Structure 1
Amino acid sequence: MSETGWPLIPREELPPPIPVERRPAQRGVPSEPGGRQLSMFSAETTEPSPADLAGLLAGPGRLGRMGGTARVSVRVDAAWRVHVLVTELAARGLSATWAPLQDDGVRGEHPEVTEEAIDTPEPEDPPRPIFEVRTAYSRRLNGLARAWPEASAQLFLSGPRMRLWVAAAGEPLPGGFALGLDPAKDPHGVAAALVRAGLAGRVSDDGSRWLITGRRRLRRLRELVGERPSSAPDEFWPGSVVA
């Protein structure tokens, strides 16, 4: 029998905040040998915050609520995205877990390797793996949960928010870059926020991606998201695309 006053949700074990190195940048002075100036709202000049998870909700992320707390979950298609997101979430003081998803979308365990499985030839085009990354239920996300989805109409997509979005669902295109969307969500508020951030584009025909083209817009995206995380492949991070 539970004790009197025992919380409905177990108290989360929060990781210690990870110090974020910030590069000194002066107005009008290039911060890199190549002459690139850091944007005022880039991921390299703005402190990380739990509110940055609005960038995940602008894309394919989902919000959950329970017992006066909230969590954010997102499905990703590569292991490197899991590594980057877990690190970024820890830097915001949020515990996170991940698991592979089965074909039906259910979180599963790693399959057992059998002799039959070894003898079975692999298909020519194996399906891309799907993983789910989700935070623990936390009171730190209550502000975001109370404001969403109404906040999407006045959403401000800062560098740290765009960095999370790119880590979860960004991929290069020939001469451009794509940001994953949730086709079940109304994209109009997010589209307006992207335009305000200098990332004008269009929704793909199937509603699953925001397509960005043009040298100036791609440069703006690179400035916002900052340096490539060590776990991310070069070709998947903004800056490798040539318009």
Structure 2
Amino acid sequence: MTSLPETGWPLIPRETLPPPIPVAGRRSAQRGAPGRPAGRQLSMFGAETTEASPADLAGLLAGPGQLGRMGGTARVSVVVDAAWRVHVLVAELVARGLATTWAPVEDQDQDPIDAVRDERSAEGETSDTPEEPPPRFEVRTAYSRRLNALATAWPAAAAQLFLSGPRLRLWVAAAGHPHPGGYRLGLDPGKDPVEVDAALVRAGLAGRVTEDRRAYVIAGRRRLTRLTELVGIRPEAAPSELWPGGAGA
């Protein structure tokens, strides 16, 4: 019997996704989807000029994403700190033909996301009001043969990882945050960051790994401009101040 091809459908109805969480001080968004700024040159390897592929999920694995294997299939999952990231990632993964689900994360133990608040406290940004832990969500693909090539090559492929625009776009959508004087990409502190650092250097985004190995910080106007060009137009669900090139980034 001939097996049916995997299509990534049915999709998750948009109304079942968590609503985007407003960001404090967020300015009102303009009507309509965000467009490309006039006069901006497209990058040769940017998200807007490179065809999307399941191999792009290497961008999630370079960051906090996790790879799972079962039989002749594989899946990728990642925990995110905001509902807007769920919206963006579901759309991006489904566009690559991957069935995708999400679920709230009940365990609110310390993780890379909490490091953002810890870093602010270390820099003197303290508050007398106890903060509620932010909601977290796990976004995961279904086990799929479409991810076999990535699963077979990983982690050995990390040594020659090429971070194209679409791969960086997924990473930013999952774990990108503005940083004083730069932009921060979340990492899994349990992974060796040496190969990821080398890949970012090759992409023209040389930066530094934080001491706790939870993030990679990119600084400098030229590098930040390149990051903005590579990841492409801000998704409609993403707050402008959190996306590369935005007011806060």
Name the TM tier (shorter chain).
0.7 to 0.9
Matched pairs, number: 205
Residues 149-207 of structure 1, C-alpha deviation per residue, up to 9 Å, x if partnerless? 00000000000000000000000012210000000000101100000001100001111
Deviation at 1:15, TM superposition (A): 2.4
Partner of 1:14 in structure 2? Answer: 8
CA distance in 1, matches of 2:150, 2:199: 17
**Residue number in structure 1 paired with 2:25:** none
Provide the rounded CA distance (Å) in 1 between the counterparts of 2:108 and 2:133.
Answer: 13
CA RMSD for the aligned pairs? 2.3
In the TM superposition, what is the alpha-carbon distance from 1:75 to its structure 2 partner?
0.4
What TM-score do you get using the length of structure 1 for normalisation? 0.79
Residues in 2 aligned to 1:13 and 1:91: alpha-carbon distance in whole angstroms: 10
Shift of 1:36: 1.6
- Partner residue in 1 for 2:187: 181
Unaligned 5+ segments in structure 2 are 12-35, 110-128
1:35 CA displacement: 2.3
1:12 to partner: Cα distance: 6.1
**Which protein has greater RCO, CA pairs closer than 8 Å, 6+ apart?**
2
Aligned residue runs from structure 1 range 1-243, under 5 A: 14-15=8-9, 34-103=38-107, 124-240=130-246
Cα distance, 1:33–1:85 mapped onto 2, change above 3 Å: closer
- 1 CA distance for matches of 2:37 and 2:234? 17
Distance 1:12 1:33 in 2: 36
8 Å contact 1:175–1:242 — kept in the other structure? no
Distance 1:33 1:139 in 2: 38
| 1:13 Cα offset (Å) | 6.1
Identity of aligned residues (%): 72
Larger Rg: 1
Question: Which TM-score applies when normalising by structure 2?
Answer: 0.77
Structure 1 residues 209, 241: CA separation in 2 closer, same or farther (over 3 Å shift)?
Answer: farther
